[in-house]
Structure 1
Amino acid sequence: MTASHLSHTTAAPVRTRFAPSPTGYLHVGGARTALFSWAFARHFGGTFVLRIEDTDLERSTPEAVQAILDGMSWLNLQHDEGPYYQMKRMDRYREVLAKMLEEGTAYHCYCSPEEVEAMRERQRAAGEKPRYDGTWRPEPGKTLPAIPADRQPVIRFKNPLDGEVTWNDVVKGTITISNRELDDLVIARPDGTPTYNFCVAVDDSDMKITHVIRGDDHVNNTPRQINILNALGAPLPFYGHVPMILGTDGQKLSKRRDAVSVMDYLDKGYLPEALLNYLARLGWSHGDDEVFSMEQMISWFDLTHLSSSAAQFNPEKLAWLNNHYIKAADNQRLAQLVKVDLAKLGVSAEQGPDLAAVIGLLKERANTTVELAQAATLFYRQPAPEAALLEQHLTEAIKPALAEFTEACAQVEWNKAAISAAMKAVLAKHGLKMPQLAMPLRLLLTGQLQTPSIDAVIELFGRECVLERLR
């Protein structure tokens, strides 16, 4: 970020916004731009605004609005103002439209959709860029066509004919678009409902947004919004367009191939702090730091070190980060999450060892809470060892040692160290190696050959359960 950006942030209160369209779930790409906007506002003690851009009536749904709110809440990206809904601001948009018509920065256009399409076809045939040709644009000395009967007009913005739009993009550097590339866009439909670029410009002006951080699929909208803001006499925000996130195949993230909804990651057993940490590192860096808290990110995030090239999503890296946060997480908190995942597996943790204690034993190796739940099932299901495995490991040579260890379990002080000492005493007496006793114990207690350390497993099962299963 240049010195002018930094001086701007100290000159006026920073106000950022996240403005999703509620046409589906909260996408991880949207969550990343929300995170960047939130962190930047927090860094400068500013305001983070949530705005729901719901003017696309055909595709916007209450369920999608709720999915966005749920995703933001799960990630703990709390907004300071809002959510504002564009559909509740229609009176304000009509007021601005009327003012623009009065001032001559907008005008009524009576071309039918068919006429506009025919206009574009002629331009394509002539090798020109298809665009509205200004038929109804009022100019000094120009005679406009007769107004067709029974046709509701659209309202078009009177875009400057000459000059260019230039802005210093916080991510991409200086971008310049010639006004000749832009036509007079429709800012209100025949039924009077305003269109996307117009609403965004009015909202950013009214909400005094100082910094717009969004995906680079919006670069083409920016010159149009800047021209509308200029026509309104409004100050311009700083713009930063972050590149998209690519999948492992180098293609744009796809719902068909990738987990793209934020809430998918909740269902897959990821912790919100892990996903936030991972998204922060997709297109932004602070030296070589890979693992950091949101408090640290806020202290560092001033829009410098944002990458102008697309970031590639790496599920292995996210899993590694999630494992780090699972190991650091409170076991009681994890137990609440794992209980939900166990229920999906048809397993209840009501009967059996304390779930938080089980998690304490298992979490070192788990990348997700779903993996934790799968590993924990051995403590909450009746063992059903395969007959062939029992025959292999529960031999006549082992049975006396197993019986002696069972009796020791009835007397021993119930902690891992005492259980381990009792096992070693039995092994020494019978001249056996640890796996010879541990394998049949695992089979009889859990039904499987692979578990964490057997003395820790025995301790967690509790004396009564162990004696019942071994006898």
Structure 2
Amino acid sequence: MKKYKHFMKFSTTRLAPTPSGYLHIGNVVNFLTTAALARKMDAKILLRIDDLDLSRKRPEYVKDIFNTLTFLGIPYDEGPADPLDFEQNWSQHRRLEMYQEAFESLKINNLVFACQCSRKQVSLASKNGRYPGTCRNKSLDNNRVCNWRFRIEAFTSTKVNPIAGTVESLQLSKRMQDFVVWKKDGLPAYQLASLMDDLHFDVDLIVRGKDLSRSTAAQLLLAKALKRPSFLNAHFHHHSLILTPENKKLSKSAGSISIHYMRSIGLEPEDVYRQVSVLMGLEKVVTNFGEFLEVYSFRK
């Protein structure tokens, strides 16, 4: 572990699953990467479950998060102890006032605008899926069924220094032009909620898959707009994804690679770790978190 000593130390990182399906091997790779970096860099690990999407949240999926972490011995230092503790004390729905205050700040400063366009309407109006700005200059403030979009005046790129000491260029995709920050159901969208949660819990090391690098760019823009320098100074590591044989991102709908399914057919934790070892290309096969921690080294 000595080779990590030259990195600055961090205070807090987080595991941030969503209870929208059973966790799969890709989620486990993210958890293990996050936990290993935290232990090597003396950072605290927070368990933060993102449950704003009530249409996809299920009690069995919340329970599965705790079952998976316990089954694989993946540690965390702060957060809910069990599903009941989560619902009573840690659910995102307990922090709605905080999200609302951030949204009101964006409104006051004219950084958001109301939009009536559905996804279908956007796709019909734009060949590349980029929001065409249909509602930018409309006065829809009193329409309660609107989404609210973050007003982006120009295509923006942001450079962040990842934990490896390199420089990564982060850009918004064309599809994220004027992205939604507040939904018509009265709840914050992912980008705003995730940013405010990381600020609330003083997270300064954020570990994500490379597919979420554009979300990092979006959240950096929001942090700048909200004048939240601590997030701007946070460090980000976007790790490689575990893909299907068809070279596609793993999905929670693919039950055969869920940890829940693996347990149901009698696989043990060491069997899962062996699969992780192969998928991540580790220098040797590991069978538990302690062995993973010893073997893991920074990988782009």
- TM-score (norm: length of structure 1): 0.53
Q: Deviations over 1:119-156 (max 9, x none)?
A: 653443xxx653141643xxxxxxx5454875544322
SS state at 1:52 partner:
coil
**What is the alpha-carbon distance in structure 2 between the residues aligned to residue 187 and residue 291 of structure 1?**
41
Q: Which residue of 1 aligns with 2:116?
A: 112
Q: Which residue of 1 aligns with 2:22?
A: 25
SS of 1:298's equivalent?
Answer: helix
Q: Which residue of 1 aligns with 2:177?
A: 183
Corresponding residue for 1:407?
Answer: none
- What CA distance in whole angstroms lies between the structure 2 residues aligned with 1:255 and 1:123? 29
* Alpha-carbon distance in 2 for matches of 1:269, 1:6: 40
Contact (CA 8 Å) 1:164, 1:176: kept in 2 or not?
yes
**Identity over the aligned pairs, expressed in percent?**
24
8 Å CA contact 2:255, 2:261 repeated in 1: no
Aligned to 1:9: 8
From the superposition, tell whether residues 290 and 257 of structure 1 become closer, same or farther in structure 2 (CA, over 3 Å).
same
Is 2:91 the counterpart of 1:85?
yes
Aligned Cα RMSD in Å?
Answer: 3.3
Q: 1:188 deviation in Å?
A: 0.8
> Which position in structure 2 is the counterpart of 1:437?
none
Using the TM superposition, give the Cα deviation of residue 296 of structure 1 relative to its aligned residue in structure 2, in angstroms.
4.3
Contact 2:145/2:185 (CA < 8 Å) preserved in 1?
yes
Q: Secondary structure at the match of 1:205?
A: helix
Q: Deviations along 1:35-71, whole A, 9 cap, x unmatched?
A: 1111211222321111111111111111110111111
1:43 aligns to 2:62 (yes or no): no
- Please, which runs of 5 or more residues in structure 2 have no aligned partner? 81-89
In the other structure, the counterpart of 2:235 is: 238
Partner-residue secondary structure (3-state), 1:48: strand
Aligned pair partner of 1:154 in 138, 147, 155: 147
Alpha-carbon distance, 1:215 to partner: 2.5
Please report how far the alpha carbon of residue 170 of structure 1 lies from its aligned counterpart in structure 2 after TM superposition.
5.5
Q: Deviations over 1:321-372 (max 9, x none)?
A: xxxxxxxxxxxxxxxxxxxxxxxxxxxxxxxxxxxxxxxxxxxxxxxxxxxx
The aligned length equals 285
**Structure 1 residue 91 displacement after superposition:** 1.4
5 Å matches for 1:303-342? 304=298, 306=299, 308=300
Question: Of 193, 196, 200, which aligns to 2:190?
Answer: 196
Task: Please state how far the C-alpha of 1:174 moved relative to its aligned partner.
Answer: 2.1
Question: Whole-Å Cα distance in 2 between the matches of residues 176 and 289 of structure 1?
Answer: 33
Greater CA deviation, 179-188 or 146-155? 146-155
Structure 1 position 295 matched with structure 2 position 294: no
| Change in 2 beyond 3 A, CA 1:92/1:6 | farther
Kept in 2, the 8 Å contact 1:43–1:300? The answer is: no
Larger helix percent: 1
1:16–1:37: 8 Å Cα contact kept in structure 2?
Answer: yes
- Equivalences for 1:16-415 in 2 at 5 Å? 16-83=13-80, 84-104=90-110, 106-109=111-114, 111-113=115-117, 118=121, 121-124=124-127, 130-133=130-133, 135-136=135-136, 144-147=137-140, 151-161=144-154, 163-169=156-162, 174-177=168-171, 182-232=176-226, 233-234=228-229, 235-236=231-232, 237-247=234-244, 253=250, 259-276=256-273, 278-280=275-277, 282-283=279-280, 285=282, 288-291=283-286, 294-299=289-294, 301=296, 304=298, 306=299, 308=300
- 1:79: Cα distance to partner? 1.7
List gaps (5 residues or longer) in structure 1. 137-143, 309-471
Looking at structure 2, the residues matched to 150 and 269 of structure 1 have their Cα atoms a distance apart, in angstroms, of 53
| C-alpha distance in 2 between matches for 1:134 and 1:6 | 51
Specify the SS of the correspondent of 2:152. coil
The Cα of 1:242 is off from its aligned counterpart by 2.6
Q: After superposition, what is the alpha-carbon deviation per residue over 1:431-462, rounded to whole angstroms, capped at 9, x for unaligned?
A: xxxxxxxxxxxxxxxxxxxxxxxxxxxxxxxx
The residue identity in structure 2 corresponding to 1:21 is: T
One-letter identity of the residue aligned with 2:290: E
CA distance in 2, matches of 1:48, 1:277: 24
Match of 2:178, SS? coil
Residues of 2 paired with 1:221 and 1:99: CA distance? 21
Secondary structure at the aligned position of 1:263 is classed as: helix
Q: Distance in 2 between matches of 1:258 and 1:190?
A: 31
Give the SS at the match of 2:257: coil
CA–CA separation in structure 1 for the residues paired with 2:182 and 2:252: 32
The separation in 1 between residues aligned to 2:193 and 2:141, in whole angstroms, is: 28
Structure 1 Cα separation of the partners of residues 255 and 59 of structure 2: 25
Q: Quick one: structure 1 residues 292 and 192, their matched pair in 2 at CA, closer, same or farther if it must change by over 3 Å?
A: closer
Structure 2 residue aligned with 1:405: none
> Are residues 176 and 273 of structure 1, via their aligned partners in 2, closer, same or farther at CA, if it must alter by over 3 Å?
same
